[in-house]
Chain A
Amino acid sequence: MSQGVGVVGVYVRDQDEALKFYVDKLGFRVHTDSRNGDYRWLTVQHPEQPSFQLGLYAPGPPVQDAATAQVLRELVAKGAMPPLVLVVDDCRDSYKRMHAAGVEFTQEPVTRYGSTDASFRDPSGNGWKMIEARKVPS
């Protein structure tokens, strides 16, 4: 695939903390981590999804003024940012592993609507829904 969405990002309160979370606890890999003065472009990638990067961005200068950055930090911490969805093969198995790793779950796995889902947040407050992929009949 050569066309399509390449990067979508989330705001995080601390890029080092976010990096640890997404890499050590969720199993993502670092794709790009480059700095230019105060600015740090940081993206991670799901090991099975090489065409997509998740950006982990810290609000603040030079992109935002201090007041705007404060509002963004508040919104993230209040859980007001858009929902994110992580698709997994086995929700209960992933839950077990991630829970043991210290991921903050806001909803344990529930089986409904023909699938199983759970919810967790990253340290900053971004909310993820973890959904089990529907088995494609072979």
Chain B
Amino acid sequence: MPERSPQDPELLRRLLRAKDRMDVASHEEWPVERLARISHVSQAHFAREFRDAFGVPPHRYLLTRRIERAKALLRDTDMSITDIAFQTGWKSLGTFGRIFRDITNESPGELREREKAAAHGFDSVPACFLIAAHRPNLTKAVSEKRTRSAKGKNRATKKEVT
């Protein structure tokens, strides 16, 4: 572990208060000045101590929280990406998209598509193929298996259903 210097627990408790406030209202603006005031420290002191305590600079922490919320909304709602961007605190769609990709390595649209596919993709696959595909020792792709069982006049399929 890298050498770390101890931090004053009383100070940490006040930094936690600022972090809690960001957690509960990440869509709001959180300039360092506002955060520092909650923690009763100078702005320079706040930024440095927050990073030491929580591993990321305060602004980066806020962005991460906003992206987490955006991911949940992309996954769980049908809200438009523009609405999600503004609801999670971004002033421009462009910034939202850029930071989103920066943190998650994909675009908001890609994440939504992927989550949808993960949730519903199996609906179109017959149950017998799903059972076969989830067998631990299956080495062939599901599509190959479908071809094979069709050739074998569904004997394989029937067997898997039982």
Contacts and interface: CB of A to CB of B under 8 A. Distances in A.
Given A106-B23, A106-B24, A77 B6 contact: no
B7 interface: yes
Interface in A71-86: 71, 73-74, 76-79
Contacts of B19: 79
Interface in A48-100: 70-71, 73-74, 76-79
Contact of B16 (A70, A71, A78): A78
A83 to B, nearest CB: 13
B16 A125 contact: yes
Most chain A beta-carbon neighbours within 10 Å: one of B10, B15, B16, B23: B16
A121 interface: yes
B54 to A, nearest CB: 7
Interface residues of A, number: 16
A37 to B, nearest CB: 23
A110 B29 CA distance: 22
Nearest to B20: A106
Contacts of A78: 12, 15-16, 53-54
A20 B12 CA distance: 22
A77 B24 contact: no
A58 to B, nearest CB: 12
Nearest to B15: A78
A113 to B, nearest CB: 12
A107 B24 contact: yes
Nearest to B6: A70
Nearest to B13: A77
A31 interface: no
Contacts of A45: none
Interface of A: 13, 70-71, 73-74, 76-79, 104, 106-107, 121, 123-125
30 contacts: A13-B9, A70-B9, A71-B6, A73-B9, A74-B6, A74-B7, A74-B9, A76-B9, A77-B9, A77-B10, A77-B12, A77-B13, A77-B16, A78-B12, A78-B15, A78-B16, A78-B53, A78-B54, A79-B16, A79-B20, A106-B20, A106-B23, A106-B24, A107-B24, A121-B16, A121-B20, A123-B13, A125-B12, A125-B13, A125-B16
